[in-house]
C-alpha cells in the first residue's frame, strides 16, 4: 500500500469508528434512563453493537502488529508509545465490557454505563491523537520529498 493510501485508509477507519461511537453512546444513553423499557432497549442495542466494539479492539491490535506501519516508521518512540498505550488501554476496557455484557440485566445496566462512557471518551481521545499524528506524518512526508 502506498503511503498516501495507508493514511487515507486509517482516516476512513477513524470515521467508521467515530460513527460507531455515536451509536454506542446513544445506546448508553437509553440504558441509563430511569424508564425500565428504555433500559431494556438500551441493553439490547449495546449487545447488538458488540461487533463494533470488537472492530475497535481489532483496530488497536492490528496497527500494533504491523512493523511497517506509518506510526512505527515516522513517529519517535514517545509518540508511538502513546498510541500503543492507548491501544492497550482501550483493548483492556473493551474486553472487560464484552465479558460482562452477557450477564448484565436491565436492572444492573446502569452500573455498566459509566464504563461504556469511559470507553467512548477514550476512543474519541485516541482517534483525535491518531489524526494529529497522521497530519504530522503527512507533513514529514512533504518535507522529505
CA neighbours closer than 13 Å in the CB half-sphere of residue 135: 6
Average pLDDT of the chain to the nearest whole number = 91
**Which segments of 32-76 does DSSP mark as H helices, in order?**
36-48, 50-64, 70-74
Q: How many CB atoms lie within 10 A of CB 47?
A: 12
Cell numbers linked to 125: 481521545
* Percentage of residues of the chain with pLDDT beyond 70: 92
Highest average pLDDT, of 60-69, 72-81, 127-136, comes from 127-136
Average pLDDT over every residue of 82-96? 95
- pLDDT value, residue 6: 76
Q: How many CB atoms lie within 10 A of CB 13?
A: 18
- pLDDT value, residue 66: 60
In a 10 Å sphere around its CB, with 0-12 CB exposed, 13-18 middle and 19+ buried, how is residue 111 labelled?
A: exposed
pLDDT tier, 1 (very low <50, low <70, confident <90, very high otherwise)? very low
| CA 83 – CA 104 distance, rounded (Å) | 31
In a 10 Å sphere around its CB, with 0-12 CB exposed, 13-18 middle and 19+ buried, how is residue 78 labelled?
A: exposed
pTM to 2 decimal places: 0.90
Cell numbers linked to 17: 469508528
**Mean pLDDT lowest for which of 69-73, 84-88, 133-137, 138-142?**
69-73
Amino acid at each position: 500500500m502506498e503511503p498516501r493510501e495507508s493514511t487515507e485508509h486509517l482516516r476512513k477507519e477513524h470515521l467508521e469508528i467515530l460513527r460507531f461511537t455515536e451509536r454506542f453512546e446513544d445506546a448508553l444513553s437509553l440504558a441509563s434512563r430511569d424508564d425500565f423499557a428504555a433500559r431494556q432497549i438500551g441493553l439490547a442495542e449495546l449487545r447488538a453493537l458488540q461487533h463494533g466494539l470488537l472492530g475497535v479492539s481489532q483496530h488497536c491490535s492490528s496497527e500494533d502488529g504491523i512493523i511497517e506501519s506509518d506510526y512505527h516508521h515516522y513517529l519517535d518512540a514517545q509518540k508511538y508509545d502513546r498510541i500503543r498505550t492507548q491501544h492497550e488501554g482501550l483493548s483492556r476496557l473493551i474486553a472487560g465490557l464484552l465479558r460482562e455484557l452477557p450477564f448484565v440485566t436491565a436492572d444492573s445496566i446502569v452500573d455498566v454505563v459509566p464504563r461504556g462512557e469511559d470507553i467512548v471518551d477514550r476512543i474519541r481521545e485516541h482517534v483525535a491523537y491518531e489524526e494529529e499524528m497522521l497530519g504530522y506524518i503527512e507533513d514529514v512526508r512533504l518535507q522529505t520529498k
